[in-house]
Amino acid sequence: MKIAIYDFDGTLYRKKTMNEFSKFYFKKHPAKFIYILIQFYAKFLYSIKLIGRKRFKEIYLSFFEKIKPADLKDLIKEFWEREYPVNFRSELLRQIEKLRIQNVKILCVSSTPEIFIKGISNRIFLDKVIATKFVQKEKKYVIEGEDCRGSEKIRRIKEEFDLNNSSVIVAYSDNLDDLPLIQMAKHSFMY
């Protein structure tokens, strides 16, 4: 099996999903603006290394706790309707279409929370999304497992695919943390 791997934020999608979705949400719900202070606090704690990336994301997206799951799904759908296709790399979307014709399996492997990418995956023809698992537990959203970044991406790909019987023909990313992922591919590109 031939596989093509794409990172999401900064690669397929030109922007950072968590930031852009937050802006979108707070414009729709200005009364929830207080959460921006929580987001700044989380960024500060992360920047001085008092919390890790996983905890940062949980705090940053803590405003999700006030949103019913069905409403969140609708909000994500509305968000992508505004963002697609204008904020996606058209050259990569065209390449995905060509690779699918050649029966190449299209993977998106990203640290972006899976809940966001799954909301757009059908529209951009992704066969599989491997991303940070952001799930609701007891009315709180938490990251299940590890943040899907760096070596965790490789571990998760190997969990899903037998790489002895597969060939990663191309990989795209914008982040040096993805160097192990990039090195797996016959051809690789950094944005």
How many Å apart are CA 38 and CA 40, to the nearest integer? 5
d(CA 172, CA 111): 14
pTM of the predicted structure, to 2 decimals: 0.95
Q: How many domains does the chain have?
A: 1
CB 5 within 8 A of CB 172: yes
Whether the predicted pLDDT of 138 surpasses 90: no
Which residues, in sequence order, are bridge partners of residue 172? Answer: 6, 189
Six-digit token string for 33: 């603006």
**The predicted structure's pLDDT at residue 164:** 87
Angstrom CA distances, 80 to 52, 98, 117, stand at 28, 23, 10
CATH number at 129 reads: 3.40.50.1000
Q: What angle do CA 5, 6, 11 make, to 5 degrees?
A: 160
Span 69-99, pLDDT tens digits: 999 999 999 999 999 999 999 999 999 999 9
pLDDT, the chain, mean: 96
More confident residue, 191 or 173: 173
Q: CA 161: distance to chain centroid?
A: 19
Average pLDDT over residues 35-47: 97
Q: What is the pLDDT of residues 99-123, one digit of tens each?
A: 999 999 999 999 999 999 999 999 9
Could you give the percent of the chain with pLDDT greater than 90? 95
pLDDT digits (tens, 9 = 90+) for 146-183: 999 999 999 999 999 998 899 999 999 999 999 999 99
What range defines the domain where residue 17 resides?
2-190
Region 17-21: what's the mean pLDDT? 98
Model pLDDT, residue 139: 83
